[in-house]
Structure 1
């Protein structure tokens, strides 16, 4: 958001920098995940794009570090679609070893044995966090389960926390993933579902420094806030469309911003099939591979131009896989 727009509406910081918003759902989710970590479980935390997975897991990692009962490790590799188990093991070595000049054995047997010793030496359970885990391939996921068993065989305890879009949950429930899916505790992050209005109020108050002269109703009318709360479901959607509304309001000199202006900036395609599936982690390539469809067929399905019988076949497969259609 431009500086002049922020000044016009009394914002002292960008909406994206507001910080961590917590509901009772978040509190219970963190409590449940902590319990699973202490038991050495494989955990999957799933939520749509923009629901706040990364921020929530950062908060969980902070809590674990403050409690000092679990050693936190994290994979920071960005190319999750091509990541191998060896890369995730390397993340454990880097975060567990006290020697900053750590040499990770290239030979598998020796590497795993040294990892066992590292975990034992730490004398605490270890939690490995992996974000964007919906892009991990099946063999890597199965390898993680076996790695947990290797650590447990030596008297240690390793839990793995996978964070990803709902595609991760659906993939883990596929019959071909039974070896790992049935051993995974799956949690769903609903973000601000049911608390959208409270979130908008909190977001505006935090972003204005809780100044009395910049109350939420001085920035947006009650009807405008209600419209945003009704149409939007995630923190990311709220931040984006609120930014668009304030920028449009600044251009027209409107203060507070009205529901009519908010309605004008709301995306008309927000709930169409393609963006809905994208929020759940399904790209064109995923659709083609999983549902035995051609790229041209999927594009035609998105635009409602696919032959009805074929469209029904693909939709039936999508429903069976747990997709939100």
Structure 2
């Protein structure tokens, strides 16, 4: 960091907001105020968690809704009961919180609690792509339960594009057609601007991106990288490699050396969209060994074609 004139790490630069981000958060806020089920979709590293934090801060300043957040880590095991518990924890004024064990009494108590708070409520759930279909449908019914009492509950689910695609499945029509879905594109189209902002935010006064990276290196990274996470990671690798080579500014050759040749491969693309090997084996009914062979281009041509056609039919980005 000293060698390149940086005074803070790239990961601590702060929140970068494009016109797309501003419009997106404005639309999401509108959906929240109207008591909807909302999905914020984005690939790994697009900045969903940062956007949620920014949105929660904005809602807090406007003070028109009460905010609740699910902090459960293992979302694949989270059922409706856990999300209702999150609402009780954040909304109840009682220090000695007692949630009824009976599902009927619990739901009635929650409905009354939301009504007593006299403000619309929004529940935020991050990493929601791991929620089961049953839980997603139950959330829609919970919103309707609260609405029936004359109150208003919104739920914001943030997750990988897999969540968006699942809700668009005809089998999920009951909930998908009632969900406001928004896609966070990260910094796509603004990679160069993001890199410049990132360096400016982390460098000492008088140090700019041209002092750290040659223009051709910036061009290369901007053309190959898509998300804030990718850019931060590969800039860090370039800085480490450039320091070891005693090279300043960093050349295109150094930048190219830190780029993974598989960064745009099928496996990497699917994973960024939330389709891990485990998810794919369950979805497609195939063995993990076949998928590994496909990703390594070691699977027979006919079988590889069949698998890719299955993926395309399921709406996967291959």
Same structural fold, with TM-score higher than 0.5 when normalized by the shorter chain: yes
Moved more, 280-289 or 295-304: 295-304
Instruction: Name the counterpart of 1:273.
Output: 266
Task: Report the 3-state secondary structure (helix = DSSP H, G, I; strand = E; otherwise coil) of the residue aligned with 1:187.
Answer: strand
Task: Report the 3-state secondary structure (helix = DSSP H, G, I; strand = E; otherwise coil) of the residue aligned with 2:73.
Answer: coil
Aligned match of 2:106 in 107, 111, 128? 111
Aligned match of 2:35 in 37, 40, 64? 40
Name the CA distance, whole Å, in 1 between partners of 2:95 and 2:313. 49
Instruction: Name the counterpart of 2:190.
Output: 195
Name the CA distance, whole Å, in 1 between partners of 2:303 and 2:170. 24
Task: Report the 3-state secondary structure (helix = DSSP H, G, I; strand = E; otherwise coil) of the residue aligned with 1:7.
Answer: coil
Aligned match of 2:237 in 244, 252, 259? 244
Aligned match of 2:15 in 20, 32, 48? 20
Instruction: Name the counterpart of 1:294.
Output: 287
Cα shift at 1:233: 0.2
Unaligned runs of 5+ residues in structure 1 are 1-5
Instruction: Name the counterpart of 1:230.
Output: 223
Name the CA distance, whole Å, in 1 between partners of 2:244 and 2:83. 49
Cα shift at 1:106: 1.0
2:307 corresponds to 1:314: yes
Question: What is the TM-score when the length of structure 1 is the normalising length?
Answer: 0.96
Instruction: Name the counterpart of 1:139.
Output: 134
Name the CA distance, whole Å, in 2 between partners of 1:218 and 1:200. 13
CA-based RMSD of the aligned residues comes to 0.9
Cα shift at 1:322: 1.6
Name the CA distance, whole Å, in 2 between partners of 1:270 and 1:321. 23
Cα shift at 1:292: 1.8
Instruction: Name the counterpart of 1:3.
Output: none
Name the CA distance, whole Å, in 2 between partners of 1:186 and 1:318. 22
* Matched ranges for 1:81-230 at <5 A: 81-209=76-204, 211-212=205-206, 214-230=207-223
Question: What is the TM-score when the length of structure 2 is the normalising length?
Answer: 0.98
Aligned match of 1:262 in 235, 255, 266? 255
The number of residue pairs the alignment matches comes to 318
Cα shift at 1:174: 1.4
Task: Kindly provide the CA deviation profile for residues 239-265 of structure 1, in whole angstroms up to 9, marking residues without a partner as x.
Answer: 000000000111111111111110111
Task: Report the 3-state secondary structure (helix = DSSP H, G, I; strand = E; otherwise coil) of the residue aligned with 2:39.
Answer: strand
Name the CA distance, whole Å, in 2 between partners of 1:34 and 1:100. 30
Name the CA distance, whole Å, in 2 between partners of 1:285 and 1:157. 37
Which contiguous aligned blocks of 4+ residues in structure 1 show a shift greater than 4 angstroms?
A: none
Task: Kindly provide the CA deviation profile for residues 124-171 of structure 1, in whole angstroms up to 9, marking residues without a partner as x.
Answer: 111111000000010010110111111111111111100000110111
Name the CA distance, whole Å, in 2 between partners of 1:229 and 1:100. 51
* Matched ranges for 1:62-77 at <5 A: 62-77=57-72
Instruction: Name the counterpart of 1:79.
Output: 74
Name the CA distance, whole Å, in 2 between partners of 1:196 and 1:315. 30
Cα shift at 1:307: 2.3
2:53 corresponds to 1:58: yes
